[in-house]
């Protein structure tokens, strides 16, 4: 965890952070799990932000097993 000016604390940027049950997590420079988003946002691309507890974070699973990754794969497949 790192000090954060508006949220009190946040996740520190890191790769291969030990998670649970042998899994690891990637924390991007924005303090969110996964790869950082493209900045600026490409034209025509939608973004969805999910918030939640350890269920959304994916406690105990790898980066490609979290709900948000699965949601992204499903939405891209649907066009």
CB 19 within 8 A of CB 60: yes
Which pLDDT score, from 0 to 100, does residue 10 have? 82
Task: Please determine, for residue 27, whether its predicted confidence score (pLDDT) is greater than 90.
Answer: yes
pLDDT at 2: 82
Tell me what the mean pLDDT of segment 44-48 comes to. Answer: 88
pLDDT at 25 over 90: yes
């Amino acid at each position: 965890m790192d000090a954060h000016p508006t949220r009190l604390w946040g996740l520190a940027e890191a790769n291969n952070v030990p998670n649970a049950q042998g899994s690891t997590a990637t924390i991007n420079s924005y303090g969110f799990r996964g790869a950082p988003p493209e900045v600026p946002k490409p034209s025509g691309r939608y973004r969805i932000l999910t918030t939640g507890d350890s269920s959304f974070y994916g406690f105990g699973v790898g980066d490609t097993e979290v709900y948000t990754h699965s949601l992204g794969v499903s939405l891209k497949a649907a066009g």
